[in-house]
Amino acid sequence: MGNSKAFLLAIFLSVTAHHLSYVHADIAKSMYISWGNPNASITGDNLQLVLDQNSGSGAQSKKGFLFGSIEMLIKLVPGNSAGIVTAYYLSSTGTTHDEIDFEFLGNVSGQPYIIHTNVYTQGKGDREQQFYPWFDPTAAFHNYTIHWNPTAVVWYVDSIPIRVFRNYESKGIAYPNKQGMRVYTSLWNADNWATRGGLDKINWTGAPFIARYTRFRPRACTWSGAASITQCATVTPANWWTAPAYKQLSANQLSQMQRIRSSNMIYDYCKDSNRFNGVLPPECSLQQF
């Protein structure tokens, strides 16, 4: 009996090691500067992105993932951040790429940032939802987590869910479940659209602008090619994200999300019928929560 238990434990640990990414590896071991050197730096578990008149900057994860929980602590650019976008997102590559976004749209001093979320499937986006933060995102680090499994994508801010995008492939709606995605971060000049549709431009007298990231924790299934589609979606103890508890928000989580959406949500593509000529995307008529 003892040998049998040891054998099963060995299998479990082997599967876990195969599927799960590093949990406590620091940023220096998990990510690299992908553009904008020297306007970026990684030291231990800290990433600093810089934007000046010469360039913005960005970093990305060394590995790709398919399902799991992707967590990052971020402190946004303080002061007048009009025209600046700080991004943190998952994306595959190519014209039919999948993508799950957190973007933070800057604003003039004294006005809040906008938390901009979106999801792309097979190269198609146009699923934006936006929120005002209920805290000052420049005064301290806050936790932004993307939880992604075969059932749904959930965006969390400080452990509070703010949005859900459910899998309705059975109804002909594409869902991001067949492409591994890397994690990307960037700080860049978007003053042609980011703040009041481009009316407020970057005030370069405040440069350099700095966004800070720390505690990147991808508790996720590592993408290793097409075989990962089955491996990462199979319901096993190692694939903890497939457990029943992660298929639906709890009553408390649902209450938290509804409170934030009623008080802090400022845009929902599913309520913008003019944008879609009166025909909203099909998922808008389906239960997302």
Distance CA 188, CA 181 (A): 21
Burial class (CB in 10 A: 0-12, 13-18, 19+), 199: exposed
Catalytic residue among 71, 99, 128, 283: 99
**Cα 63 to Cα 16, 20, 36, 60, 151, distances in angstroms:** 16, 11, 20, 9, 23
**Residues 71, 103, 169, 283: which is the catalytic one?**
103
Reduced to 3 DSSP states, what percent helix, strand and coil does the chain have, rounded to the nearest 5?
Answer: 20, 40, 40
Residue written as token pair 């959930």: 154
How many CA atoms does the CB half-sphere of 15 hold within 13 Å? Answer: 15
Single-letter amino acid code for the residue at 231: Q
CA neighbours closer than 13 Å in the CB half-sphere of residue 159: 2
71 catalytic? Reply is: no
Buried b (16+ CB within 10 A) or exposed e, 54-86: ebbbbbbbebbbbbbbbbbbbbbbeebbbbbbb
Active site residue 283: no
Q: How far apart are CA 24 and CA 46, in angstroms?
A: 13
Active-site residues: which are they? 99, 103
